[in-house]
Amino acid sequence: MKRHLVFSIVLVLVAAGALAFRLPRLSERVMHGDEANQAFKAGLLHDRGLYHYDPHEHHGPTLYYLTLPSFWLSGADSFPESNENHYRIVPVVFGVGVVLLLFLVADGLGRPAALCAGVLAAVSPAMVFYSRYYIQEMLLVFFTFGAIASGWRYASTRKLRWALLAGAFLGLMHATKETCAFAYVAMALAVAAKVGWRRWRGYPVKLRSVVNWRHLLAGLAVAAAVSFVFFSSFFTHWRGPLDSVMAYVNYLNRSGGAEIHVHPWHYYLKMLLYTHYARGPWWSEAFILGLAAVGFVAVMLRDAVPGTTTPLARFIAFYTLFLTAIYCVIPYKTPWCMLSFLHGMILLAGVGAVVLVHVARKLPLRIAVGVLLAAGAVQLADKAYLASFRFATDIRNPYVYAHTSPDLLNLVRQVDQFAEVAPHDEPLFIQLAAPDADYWPLPFYLRRYPVVYAPEPYKPLLIVVHEDIEPKPGEPYEFVGLHGLRPTVRMWLYARADLKRKWEDYVASLPPRH
């Protein structure tokens, strides 16, 4: 009982440390285009109660619905009143929740291994960086781990409630992102591999002693029900569940690689092992990968790993191996997708850390191993700080991917200045135009103004267009400025001639900025 209390206190402290890494200065980094797009949809859901699943883009609905409590608690009455904090706090909560879920597997991984995994999850640069990103990935990691943890609790107790909870998590995975299918496949392959491994080692396997088929069907029914509720927009959009299935046709085509996000099979592994760009810091999470390799070998070669229940650890080992292979094989790659298998590596790394301490039987050697483990955690924490704060939008940061240029905020600042001098009896209509709607995150930053995406029937006061587009000759607009959207994309700002003159007088009257 005392050990359990100590473990609980320490794990809560680790989770508090994870929160301390993730929470500060959430609004400081300029929004990525994907973040802004998600925030726009969440704002539409809050303001109008409108959400219909799009089988071609944007992924599942859980992120938007789970953002609503943030709106309610923040006091923001509408999307225009919201800010970056109201959105990014959602992945922060789930990033910390991934640490707290270790309570459910502490008896399976072993408490020391669970604590080590918690520390690694708390300071992993990728986990910290994307826990501050308003996209679906951290929710998917949380729900996936919840399904695995609940499945383990069911296998340990055979109680129906754990089967139902596992089903709920499986349904939430599907309602979060289409790539949940990769985790489903990896889970199924891991179970099959684990059974085959035991038979190969000469141990009998009786599935009936582990699984009650009625419980299994009940869990699957809960999974289907949870998914249906979200995709149907809580029974208001009946085509949503069908679209959630048909979406895989689109995503199968995308995974084939006919887009700009095509990368070689080793893209993720290279990023995690070592990355360095000229005149920038080096980046590495090799410490996690090395410990995960130790844990993998230990649970494969030994039937009893000290401090760990081998069945769970071996399942996680197979699951992580298969999931990593799936993501490596698929040509379509974005860096945040690696979180799913990186989290599996973190769990294995916790086992690996305990194995190293156990192998070092003499006290001086154990002290040396402890110092090395602490140094590795400090190195990860240092890189997490650099990635999330000092290099949060810097292209020398490998986790920064097609990110918005901070210069875009200067454009937004100019628009705010035009609002100060615009006629009070004339809405500040802004025309926004770019090929293939490539103007995100501007709709988020211009959320307080009426934005139109075609000149008719409005006569906008401002025009923000892609650098390949210019106002038609004869239109009463004058050039104001050129601003970066992303490293290779720029936007022009034009203003109606009379408004520009008022703006120039206004800017001239402002005190100099320091």
The backbone region for 25, taken as left when phi is positive above 0, alpha when psi lies in -120 to 50, beta otherwise, is left
Classify residue 397: in a domain, yes or no: no
> What tokens appear for 63 in the block?
């992120």
Task: Answer yes or no: do 159 and 306 share one domain.
Answer: yes
> What is the per-residue pLDDT for 261?
78
Evaluate if residue 144 carries a pLDDT over 90. yes
Classify residue 396: in a domain, yes or no: no
Evaluate if residue 199 carries a pLDDT over 80. no
Classify residue 403: in a domain, yes or no: no
Residue with tokens 């695995």: 148
Number of domains in the chain: 2
Q: Spell out a b/e string for 113-124, using b for 16 or more CB atoms within 10 Å of the CB, else e.
A: bbbbbbbbbbbb
SS3 433: strand
CB 211 within 8 A of CB 151: no
Domain boundary among 390, 417, 433: 390
Classify residue 122: in a domain, yes or no: yes
Whole-prediction pTM value?
A: 0.94
Evaluate if residue 514 carries a pLDDT over 60. no
Q: Rounded mean pLDDT of the chain?
A: 90
Those residues whose C-beta lies under 8 Å from the C-beta of residue 292, and which sit 6 or more positions away, are 320, 345, 346, 348, 349, 352
Task: Answer yes or no: do 341 and 453 share one domain.
Answer: no
The backbone region for 496, taken as left when phi is positive above 0, alpha when psi lies in -120 to 50, beta otherwise, is beta
Task: Answer yes or no: do 284 and 427 share one domain.
Answer: no
Evaluate if residue 207 carries a pLDDT over 80. no
Domain boundary among 390, 422, 439: 390
Evaluate if residue 358 carries a pLDDT over 70. yes
- Amino acid making up residue 67: T
Q: What is the pLDDT of residues 217-270, one digit of tens each?
A: 999 999 999 999 999 999 999 998 998 888 888 766 655 544 677 889 999 999
User: 451: domain range?
Assistant: 408-509
Q: Distance between CA 12 and CA 18 in Å, rounded?
A: 10
Evaluate if residue 208 carries a pLDDT over 70. no
Which phi and psi (to 5°) does residue 276 adopt?
-150, 130
Task: Answer yes or no: do 213 and 336 share one domain.
Answer: yes
Task: Answer yes or no: do 385 and 435 share one domain.
Answer: no
Task: Answer yes or no: do 328 and 450 share one domain.
Answer: no
Classify residue 395: in a domain, yes or no: no
- When pLDDT is averaged across residues 22-28 and rounded to a whole number, the result is 95
> What is the per-residue pLDDT for 348?
97
Classify residue 401: in a domain, yes or no: no
Task: Answer yes or no: do 467 and 440 share one domain.
Answer: yes
Those residues whose C-beta lies under 8 Å from the C-beta of residue 189, and which sit 6 or more positions away, are 318, 319, 322
Question: CA distances (Å), 487 to each of 119, 404, 441, 483, 484, in order?
Answer: 35, 8, 14, 10, 7
Classify residue 375: in a domain, yes or no: yes
> What is the per-residue pLDDT for 206?
64
Classify residue 346: in a domain, yes or no: yes
